[in-house]
Amino acid sequence: MEQVEQDPDFVTLSRQFKATAMELISVLEQKQKTGGRIKVLLETLPLHKLADIFVASFEMSLEEQLSMLDSVDPKIRLSKATELVDRHLQSIRVAEKITQKVEGQLSKSQKEFLLRQQMRAIKEELGDNDDDEDDLAALERKMQSAGMPSNIWKHAQRELRRLKKMPPQQPGYNSSRVYLELLADLPWQKASEEQELDLKAAKDRLDCDHYGLSKVKQRIIEYLAVRKLKPDARGPVLCFVGPPGVGKTSLASSIAAALGRKFVRISLGGVKDEADIRGHRRTYIGSMPGRLIDGLKRVAVCNPVMLLDEIDKTGSDVRGDPASALLEVLDPEQNKSFNDHYLNVPYDLSKVIFVATANRVQPIPPPLLDRMEVIELPGYTAEEKLRIAMQHLIPRVLDQHGLNSEYLQIPEAMVKLVIQRYTREAGVRNLERNLAALARAAAVRVAEQEQAVSVSKDVHKLASPLLDNRLAEGAEMEMEVLPMGVNNNEISTAFKISSRLVVDEAMLEKILGVIIPHKLFSFIWMFT
Ligand code: ADP
């Protein structure tokens, strides 16, 4: 051994081994604090024992161990040991590189999250927490004041805790936030103050809003009377059935006004997906609550009058049956804990007053029909339409267009003509639309006249002394002297006399169009 230690080749080899081993020790030293001892060992051990002692502490395969044992020549042993140590060093380096890379990616978002938390803490310390960062705190405050039942409050708090732990970039942060916002926005307890129901006032209101319909009004008054005597009575759900434009929606809104409650309309026409009523589960991308919960959020009270419009137009297909979901909604036994898939907690719908409308009874599934009381509105006769138009539609249309009877007069005979020639419907919606067209035409004329009056003022202002003289002398107005910037047309309209527009047959034809031949024929056919 002494001999071999003198060998220059062996000395070089051992130096190389020492260098590699030292490197490995320094790498390991960062992880374990035991490196110092090994370093001392490396310095003090006789060179020929170095390889054996070092290599013994490595994990290696059986073949490698055998080949180590096999090599008797110290030089070969040392070079094999160097190779082993080097390999070990390389593998540690590669592993380190990979972990560094992964840590780098992870820590970027974690660092951001940490910094944000720190920033929040600093702001809180400074009492300077009025910006967006604090919207989670604002959300929490909103949730606290939402008046949730205790079990739902617990559920919401759990979700909020999860949200607080999430960094804002994490997928799911936003959906969780939107969900909590909905929980906070829903009217869990907030109700519109129910006034003492005055049946006389309710009757007056119904009479004031609607002409005729005495039986329907009578039934509504009975319904209201029962509610007055027993506010939590589980009365039937009223369902107004009739053609379009007979006043189904407006009757429902009159009920809401009579009860002093808010009114919300949910359109069910064309709804084929059960999720439209019950919402999508939150696991779906873009999931949202059903229309009922959405309507309640919009109206922001838990006891509105909710109109389920066009309940006969719901259909069923592979996506489920909305009618069966509606069954649960309308059943007073079940709607205490209505389960919206998105909301995922029960919501009490029992304070909502439901009213439904439909065009026909036949398409409504029998179990659903069973839960409702059908009130038929068959449509109006021509005489009824005339009365409705004169008493309700014309004043309303004029008001909507900023006019009054001083500007536009629609004589009864002309309304009759509109009913006979231009509308053929059970309701009065087209009639209202045609009257609105007349009002629009009148509005254009009135607006033009107002402009003309202002132009005429300008004319006086701009008029030259010559024009003034002529006016003073009472001379005939001529277009001789034209003030600059006022054209011929403006001058001519400037002296029009404003007058009330009375609708006549010619005007009807001009505004509503020439009566269409097939309509005319069927009209003639009707009376022959
Ligand atoms: P529906 O819901 O049956 O389709 P709406 O309630 O929307 O019809 O009524 C259409 C319009 O006709 C509304 O402006 C409504 O006020 C008016 N209307 C319908 N029936 C009457 C009536 N009997 N008296 C006064 N206005 C009526």
Tokens linked to 70: 């096999």
What average pLDDT is seen over the chain? Answer: 80
| pLDDT for residue 480 | 36
Tell me the average pLDDT across 426-451: 86
| pLDDT for residue 129 | 58
Q: What's the DSSP call for residue 418? A: I
Of residues 321 and 127, more confidently modeled: 321
Nearest atom in ligand 1 to the alpha carbon of residue 309 is 2
| pLDDT for residue 471 | 40
Ligand 1 pocket, mutate which of 246, 387, 396 (most atoms under 8 A from CB): 246
Distance from Cα 145 to the centre of ligand 1, integer Å: 40
Distance from Cα 246 to the centre of ligand 1, integer Å: 5
Q: What is the C-alpha separation between 436 and 444, in angstroms, rounded?
A: 12
470 CB-near residues (< 8 Å, 6+ apart): 477, 478, 481
pLDDT confidence band for 498 (50 / 70 / 90) = low
Tell me the pLDDT tens digit for each residue of 214-262: 899 999 999 888 888 887 777 788 999 999 999 999 999 998 888 888 9
Q: Of 41-50, 451-460, 489-498, where does mean pLDDT reach its minimum?
A: 489-498
Tell me the pLDDT tens digit for each residue of 306-317: 999 999 888 777
Q: What is the C-alpha separation between 5 and 15, in angstroms, rounded?
A: 12
Q: How many CA atoms lie within 13 A of 290 on its CB side?
A: 23
Q: What is the C-alpha separation between 376 and 248, in angstroms, rounded?
A: 10
Q: What is the C-alpha separation between 399 and 503, in angstroms, rounded?
A: 17
- Does the structure show a pLDDT above 90 at 169? no
Tell me the pLDDT tens digit for each residue of 341-375: 999 899 988 888 899 999 999 999 898 898 899 99
Are 313 and 271 a contacting pair, CB within 8 Å? yes
- Does the structure show a pLDDT above 70 at 496? no
Q: What is the 3-state secondary structure (H, E, C) of 129-173?
A: CCCHHHHHHHHHHHHHCCCCCHHHHHHHHHHHHHHHHCCCCCCCH
Q: What is the C-alpha separation between 82 and 471, in angstroms, rounded?
A: 121
Nearest atom in ligand 1 to the alpha carbon of residue 391 is 25
- Does the structure show a pLDDT above 80 at 320? no
Tokens linked to 285: 């991308």
Q: How many CA atoms lie within 13 A of 179 on its CB side?
A: 29
| pLDDT for residue 133 | 56
C-alpha closest to that of 319 among 337, 335, 341, 298: 341
| pLDDT for residue 136 | 83
Nearest atom in ligand 1 to the alpha carbon of residue 251 is 6
Nearest atom in ligand 1 to the alpha carbon of residue 357 is 2
Q: CA 240, 243, 246, 249 torsion: positive or negative?
A: positive
Distance from Cα 262 to the centre of ligand 1, integer Å: 19
Kindly tell me the burial class for residue 403, based on how many C-beta atoms sit within 10 Å of its own C-beta (0-12, 13-18, 19 or more). Answer: middle
Tell me the average pLDDT across 97-109: 76
Give nearest CA residue, ligand 1 atom 20.
247
Are 220 and 251 a contacting pair, CB within 8 Å? yes
Tell me the average pLDDT across 161-181: 85
Give nearest CA residue, ligand 1 atom 6.
247
Domain extents for the chain? Answer: 8-104, 126-185, 199-376, 380-450+500-527
Alpha-carbon Rg for the chain, nearest whole angstrom, is 44
Q: What is the C-alpha separation between 209 and 393, in angstroms, rounded?
A: 10
Instruction: Name residues contacting ligand 1 (CB within 6 A).
Output: 210-213, 244-250, 357, 388, 392, 427-429, 432
Distance from Cα 109 to the centre of ligand 1, integer Å: 59
pLDDT confidence band for 154 (50 / 70 / 90) = very high
Are 211 and 251 a contacting pair, CB within 8 Å? no
Tell me the average pLDDT across 44-67: 79
Distance from Cα 210 to the centre of ligand 1, integer Å: 8
- Does the structure show a pLDDT above 80 at 394? yes
- Does the structure show a pLDDT above 70 at 441? yes
- Diameter over CA atoms, the chain: 146
Ligand 1 pocket, mutate which of 428, 430, 433 (most atoms under 8 A from CB): 428
Helices within 356-483 (DSSP H only): 366-370, 382-388, 394-400, 412-417, 429-462, 465-472
Distance from Cα 427 to the centre of ligand 1, integer Å: 7
Q: By percentage, how much of the chain surpasses pLDDT 70?
A: 85
252 CB-near residues (< 8 Å, 6+ apart): 240, 263, 265, 305, 307, 355, 357
Q: Of 14-18, 130-134, 207-211, where does mean pLDDT reach its minimum?
A: 130-134
Ligand 1 pocket, mutate which of 207, 265, 429 (most atoms under 8 A from CB): 429
Q: What is the C-alpha separation between 375 and 219, in angstroms, rounded?
A: 8
| pLDDT for residue 342 | 93
Distance from Cα 429 to the centre of ligand 1, integer Å: 7
C-alpha closest to that of 263 among 323, 305, 208, 209: 305
| pLDDT for residue 432 | 92
Of 354-358, 437-441, 444-448, 486-490, the range with the highest mean pLDDT is: 354-358
Domain 380-450+500-527: which CATH class? mainly alpha
Helices within 300-381 (DSSP H only): 322-330, 366-370
Distance from Cα 393 to the centre of ligand 1, integer Å: 9
| pLDDT for residue 527 | 53
199-376: CATH topology is: Rossmann fold (3.40.50)
Nearest atom in ligand 1 to the alpha carbon of residue 212 is 23
Are 216 and 377 a contacting pair, CB within 8 Å? yes
Ligand 1 pocket, mutate which of 250, 255, 268, 360 (most atoms under 8 A from CB): 250
444 CB-near residues (< 8 Å, 6+ apart): none
Give nearest CA residue, ligand 1 atom 10.
245
pLDDT confidence band for 264 (50 / 70 / 90) = very high
- Does the structure show a pLDDT above 60 at 474? no
Tell me the average pLDDT across 415-444: 89
Distance from Cα 351 to the centre of ligand 1, integer Å: 27
Tokens linked to 214: 């005495």
Tokens linked to 439: 């009002």
Nearest atom in ligand 1 to the alpha carbon of residue 252 is 6
Give nearest CA residue, ligand 1 atom 18.
247
Of residues 411 and 55, more confidently modeled: 411
Distance from Cα 447 to the centre of ligand 1, integer Å: 29
pLDDT confidence band for 32 (50 / 70 / 90) = low
Q: What is the C-alpha separation between 478 and 470, in angstroms, rounded?
A: 9
Nearest atom in ligand 1 to the alpha carbon of residue 377 is 3
Tell me the average pLDDT across 488-499: 46
Tokens linked to 141: 């405050």
| pLDDT for residue 131 | 55
| pLDDT for residue 506 | 82
Are 392 and 427 a contacting pair, CB within 8 Å? no
Q: CA 442, 445, 451, 454 torsion: positive or negative?
A: negative
The number of helices, as runs of H, and strands, as runs of E, in the chain is: 24, 9
